[in-house]
Structure 1
């Protein structure tokens, strides 16, 4: 659902806001500048269009240039300085903190910034005392910040810790294809065939099940299924019965517990139901701490699991226990007798890895590889579950002009500070979020979806004359006042520095009730330095647009002489360029 663009909240202003909102206030571009001034800042770049996008600003007090979100500025402006350089400088000189005691070594700060993934841009203040902020720019997302040595960690490295791999387009998410251990529990007598064919693996609707162990019947959703409720109730009942039998008894009163007691404390003083841990032995002589009621030796269980994993790992084609992407980085030569298939994904054992892309080799544990930043390669700063790994075909479209590579963004993650540029096999360039592209949105120029036959006919005719003609491009401009972006039918790109030309074909059926929208679109494009040609199909009326950069022609659909109209457009463009 489209969000209506509200009016600027500045007192006495009736202009449209610079960004759309449902419930929160908005401001026009002029008064956004006034709002920044109230916060002690001024804009360096154009407003990015969203309150949650990072905006490059300059502090009016200390002159520090850094990125801040508009919603952050609004939140902080009435309580503290939004400028982090001023804030941390003042905090560092608080008598209760007293950190600014000596001049800081800038070379040490520069080296630390590089280790944390930043480009060092310089000290915010001179002289820079210990604890003072410094200007740094994240090499991953390009955000410029004022940070002290102790808090150099960009938020882009803490977000997107997604463990589950992205689902490929067309892949099934149905329960019947999930490989779940509960597939055998599906009650085919009470569930319909339609349920079996259509139920998603994470569905919340109620389904009939039959316990595979004892045949108990129950109802649960696939998303909430984890065990048989009757079996669970039985086990709880048995546990409570055993607990009641140990009431008022000490460890010394229960022979089966006392037989393995090895703690220094007197067993007669320890309750058999105690939840505290004490030292016990086992038949194999292992000593381990556990609660009295817990049976079995944890060391024996761990060794048994290890033997089982090693046994499975030595079989032919043993699958790795860790993820496929980590498994392909397991070094084939430097890990000695360590079996990859026997390693747990949470293992703390230090092993060697090698990135198949760049060949870099390093040591780390499997457990640490899948935490925090989840880096695929620490030298390339690529990440696990990246767009390039799961969608290599989309990665081939990734433009080298983007500040990050396709190995550094996730398929549905957000890119901070920019919208990715893509280049299709035909050489068309367009911008799209990673989520929209992985969800199937194609190149707008190659796609014919939503384009009429007459529009495609004009596109072909204009492409035969002009060297750079585009279809379906999304145009954004700070000069737009009626919408944040427009998608014209056809754009003829000028190669001599003059205005590019937008050609719009208004079909009589679809545009019968769109005169206001067509007018607003034309006025916005003209204001953004485009020449606009509108082909209004008979019997549509003329639009109330008066400008030297606007041409309106009457068209008659596919029966029209397209070459005649194209020649008129060419002649008009030539006059505009003179």
Structure 2
């Protein structure tokens, strides 16, 4: 929503800026468009924010692609070519000229390029040169976010930025540290912020206070403590004690130390001649030992004396994790039943192929857990759905995702770039449909027709009266149109077909004659009929248009039904005059 209190930063312009800033300049839509045109681009799509993509057409080559305003400003300032198509074509020609006789001029196999683009989640729209040679640019569109971009084949291999974006606060589905069962919970300091314990995940990098069983206090990231807690002061004390133990027997031979002599199993060395001080043989990584369990590890003398058999230690660690699923919850939820290995024994770094089945789409495929964690992390590599998607994190909101959206809620992340504003279908009343960005839904925004917050008591009364007379009346519906001059979009109080009904309370609309006039003119320019219900003593708006009407209403004596009957008669009369 534009900040009506912040004027455009362009010299001499008093129009309101179409976005908010704190320290950087902000511009009205007219001057925003000028910035794109100075960069050689004609804006086509709707402007959102300076760092959001906007569809533009190059004034030189007519190629349509998406650009950010901040990128256009930066390239214009550096006097660089703004259009990626012009820029990469010039770069490819220069590269071939530099290579001379060694330049590769074999035409591209466009079918292979299209397949490569598809394999990396891009819709291939075609080459931008004829013939298309190596290093020449191509036009693509991301299948996930819909951003249209100019890329070389090598650029497609890095996927779209939206595919790799995983930065967000801890969403539902992430395992919280407080629920992990980690032994580090016993070390949690009582003076830590309770909010930190309530929100931190197992992999949080945030610092916290800890108290070890010996009473040592220290701070460390939750991530480093969650799996294997450790105290640095205790570790220093253990190293010092170990050093004392080794120094006490350093002057002796292996045969003179009973604990070492009993487990010695290295036929290549005489234990009566090997000094403990030697620690390692001249050849090899360690001496051969035998533990009671029958293992024969090769370790240094100090390692064996202080820690014992590393095979037994590893088995003890594995047994401590028995029955605990180590994979991410969403990945573990896809582990197929036909696998011979129990899920609890599968580690995230395993390279052994396993079978997976997505319970949503039903596709099955084979891949190792290590491959599953490689970027980009697909939920289903066939459908190109994402892990940590909006649907996984917010399943209740995903149920209201409209089928008309160009992607499913499993294809988009809760945060990141999107080329479209999703449409929603109210779970309470499927007749209610509206558009809203993901951020607003995550923040708690619901169906504008059903919610009461944000509506005055009077507005709610007139909305109910309109629904009773017209059969259906929409509330709080955002309207966007290219004809709008003051704002990119307006929120209409009550929408009945192509009739916008605005309720102007005398308190909130006092002194807003200019704003109310501009909104009415924008809605009229978009082809809507406008009726304003203005509370006494608000002055009438000076608008002369056959599709515009005003009715005076009184807060002290509201008559929603009577007023809406007058509105219905006015609408019927305007429809007759149109015929």
Query: What corresponds to 1:323 in structure 2?
Result: 328
Deviations 1:474-501 (CA, angstroms, capped at 9, x unpaired): 23344444444332221112xxxxxx22
| Alignment TM-score, normalising by the size of structure 1 | 0.79
Aligned to 1:466: 470
In the TM superposition, what are the counterparts of 1:55-454 in structure 2 within 5 Å? 55-77=54-76, 78-93=78-93, 94=95, 95-96=97-98, 99-152=103-156, 153-161=158-166, 166-167=171-172, 181-185=183-187, 200-202=198-200, 211=212, 213-214=213-214, 216=215, 218=217, 226=225, 232-239=232-239, 278-279=285-286, 281-283=288-290, 284-287=295-298, 295=307, 298-306=310-318, 312=322, 318-333=323-338, 335-336=339-340, 338-410=341-413, 412-425=414-427, 426=429, 427-454=431-458
Tell me what 1:564 maps to.
562
Partner Cα distance (1:358, 1:405) in 2: 12
Q: Give the SS at the match of 1:488.
A: strand
- C-alpha distance in 1, partners of 2:399/2:407? 14
Which ranges in structure 2 are unaligned for 5 or more consecutive residues?
none
- The 3 A distance-change label for structure 1 pair 82 and 297 is farther
Displacement of 1:185 = 4.9
Structure whose residues are more often helix by fraction: 2
Distance 2:124 2:224 in 1: 51
Structure 1 441/96 Cα, relative in aligned 2: closer, same or farther at 3 Å?
Answer: same
Who is 1:489 aligned against? 493
Worse overlay, 352-361 or 525-534: 525-534
Q: CA deviation at 1:528?
A: 3.7
Answer yes or no: is the 8 Å Cα contact 1:100–1:132 preserved in 2.
no
Q: In 2, Cα distance between the equivalents of 1:156 and 1:8?
A: 31
Structure 1 stretches lacking a partner, 5+ long = 313-317, 494-499
For 1:306 and 1:176, locate their aligned partners in 2 and report how far apart those are by CA, in whole Å: 22
SS in 2 for 1:137: strand
Please report the RMSD computed on the Cα atoms of aligned residues, expressed in angstroms.
4.6
Distance in 2 separating the partners of 1:207 and 1:80: 47
1:328-348 Cα offsets, whole Å, 9 max, x none, are 311212x23x12111112322
The answer to whether the Cα contact below 8 Å between 2:493 and 2:502 also exists between their aligned partners in 1 is yes
Distance 1:508 1:263 in 2: 100
Return the alpha-carbon distance in structure 1 between the equivalents of residues 33 and 268 of structure 2. 72
2:570 alignment partner, SS class:
helix
CA contact (8 A) 1:99 1:130 kept: no
Measured at CA, do residues 11 and 150 of structure 1 come closer, stay the same or move farther in structure 2, by a change above 3 Å? Answer: same
Contact in 2 for aligned 1:201/1:222 (Cα 8 Å): no
CA distance in structure 1 between the aligned counterparts of 2:85 and 2:188, rounded to whole angstroms: 61
Compared with structure 1, are the counterparts of its residues 105 and 280 closer, same or farther at alpha carbon in structure 2 (3 Å cutoff)?
farther
- Count of residues in Structure 1 that have an aligned counterpart in Structure 2: 548
Once the two structures are overlaid, the 10-residue window that deviates more, 31-40 or 567-576, is 31-40
Who is 2:45 aligned against? Answer: 46
TM superposition shift of 1:16:
4.1
The 1:236/1:513 distance shift into structure 2, 3 A limit, reads farther
Q: Is the 8 A contact 1:262 1:279 kept in 2?
A: no
